[in-house]
Structure formats: structure tokens, C-alpha cells
Amino acid sequence: MRNQELNLLVIFDAIMTERSITRAAKNLSLTQPAVSNALSRMRVAWKDELFVKDGRNIQPTLYAQNLWSQIKHPLEQLEEAIDSNSFDPATAKRTFRIATVDVIVQTVWPPLRKLIEQEAPGINIHAVPYTIFNAERMLHDAEVDMVVGASLTSGSVIRSQYLYTPCYICVMRPKHPLAKANLTLEEFADAEHLLISLSGDATGFSDNVLAQHGLSRRVAMTVNHFSAVPALLKETNLISIVPSTAVEKAIFSGELTVVEPPIQLSPNPVACYWHKRQERDQGLIWLRQHVNSMIKASSELHLRELKQHICKECA
């Protein structure tokens, strides 16, 4: 293979990974016109459009997708063969895209940014919207480097690392009529519920448990991010089953109260997921180690504080 063709493949790989000529140019330390000119040469040489505009991003053609599936792994092997330990956080210039929910962003982004400013000033971290329905596809299509969330199926090409199992609680405003001990199953089912639904589906795992008892509930309102929950519950008669980390500040400040739910909750564990093609990516390994340790430490601290708070309320 001629050097020119190999260079085009490297640029093509960067465009496929970033789905953006601008971001590809930045990661390759090239100008945007240089990458655009390279793309023009690819289109002539390979006789295909390769990419079409899709809003602010670009989407690959079927030819481009098939080509990438054939060259992605060999290119990674070449890079590893040259230098398997090439990632140096102090000098690296790279953008990582992480698909996750706002609770994780609120927990991890502040300490992660502090770490980056101290140890890896050239690293960018971009949060990407996450649902359980699009997470696996985003990893397969290299739209993200990592997913932090629940309910993603690990398989032959998706790797995972367990982080923690969230503690789901029933919360409402302190003067809510149901803010009492011994909330019954019927009272819980008759209440007006707030559901956090990242996908827009108005059914949660509480509905499955209620159905086993021949009951159903009214989901009176849904939101698609956790940060909206405290304000809604403080000002209304809605109640909600939520992971405790989503409302910890409101609980500890007394703005919301915790009630023992009358149903057995079995939430899915939260894990970190990545594609096997990046199994030996030293940069992603570095990022995963820090993100995972921050999440685990925060989760352990939160659970201790939550137990102490509930015990004080019960005393």
C-alpha cells in the first residue's frame, strides 16, 4: 500500500470515529481544509460519496460503513505495534465522548475536570445523551467511547465493569398526605406518580411489580432527566421512585422526605461499557480507571450518609 493511501485511511478512520470533519481535523492536528481535501481525494479514489450531511454532523454511506469495518481493527493493531503505551495524559490531545445520565455528570464531571486540569490539560470530555435503547448502537458505531449506565447487554464485542447497584427510594414533599410510616401498597398505587424516563416510555419497573399484585398506578408526569425531580416534588403532590443519588441534596436539606416503599425494588446495576476494539486503548483505560473510581467512591459515601440521615429521622 502506498503511503498516500495509508494516510487517507487514517483520515477516513478519524472522520468515521468523530462523525465530523472539524473534530477529526482537531484530533489529527490538521486543518479543516486539509481534511476536506483528503475526503475529496477519497471520493475520487474509492468512487463513493462516503459521507452525507445530517444536521451539524455527517453520516457514512453503506460503502463507508463496510470499509470501516474492514480497516478499523488493522489500523488499531498497527498503532499498537508501533507503540502500545503511546498515551501520555500530560501531553495527549484527545476528545472522549461518554454517554450517560445527568446524575453521573453531576457526580463525576467536577472532580474529573479538576484532575484533567492538573494532569491532562489537552483532554476534552463530552457528555452524550443516553438511553438503554441507543447505548449499544452508539458503541458499535463508535459514536461514543464509553457508556455509563444500566441495562446494557454485554456480549462478545461489548465489555463491561460493574460499578454499583443504585438504591431506589420513594420520595415526596415532607407535608405530603402519604409522608408517613407504613405506606400501604394500595395508597402507593393510588398516588400520582412522577417517572424519570430517558426514552419517553411511561412504564417503569414499579409498574411490573404492581401488576404482579393486580394493581396499576397513574404516571401523571414524566421527565427525561433526573435534575428536574426535586423541584417538581417540592411543589406538588407527586411522589416518585428514584435512585437516591438523584435527590440527595433535597433529602439532606429536608426539602424532600424518604418513605419506605411498599414494593420490593430490584434495580439494575450500573456499569461502565466499552467496545472490544478499544480494549487496549491506553487513553480509554486511563479515563475508565479514573471515572470508575470516582463513581464508586461517590456511591459508597452517599449510601453511608443516606443511612445516617434516615436513622436520624427515625430516632
pTM over 0.75, yes/no? no
CA distance 73 to 84: 14
What pLDDT does residue 77 have? 63
Burial degree of 173 (CB within 10 A; 0-12, 13-18, 19+): buried
pLDDT at residue 28 above 70?
yes
CA distance 285 to 292: 10
Is residue 105 domain-resident?
yes
More confident: 105 or 5: 105
Handedness of CA 139, 78, 12, 121 (dihedral sign): positive
Is residue 239 domain-resident?
yes
The label of the residue with cell 468515521 reads 16
pLDDT at residue 313 above 60?
no
Is residue 28 domain-resident?
yes
Across the chain, what does the average pLDDT equal?
87
Whether residue 135 is found in the same domain as residue 194: no
User: pLDDT tens-digit profile of 199-220?
Assistant: 888 888 899 899 999 999 999 9
What pLDDT does residue 234 have? 95
What pLDDT does residue 310 have? 64
Domains held by the chain: number: 3
Is residue 310 domain-resident?
no
Is residue 313 domain-resident?
no
What pLDDT does residue 315 have? 43
User: pLDDT tens-digit profile of 59-110?
Assistant: 999 999 999 988 877 776 676 556 545 788 998 888 899 999 999 999 999 9
Handedness of CA 265, 235, 109, 274 (dihedral sign): positive
Residue 51 belongs to domain with CATH number: 1.10.10.10
What pLDDT does residue 1 have? 45
Q: How confident is the model at residue 240 (pLDDT cuts 50, 70, 90)?
A: very high
pLDDT at residue 164 above 70?
yes
CA distance 55 to 100: 22
Domain that holds residue 286: 94-165+269-305
How many CB atoms neighbour CB 85 within 10 A?
7
Nearest-CA neighbor of 103 among 268, 228, 239?
228
Whether residue 196 is found in the same domain as residue 108: no
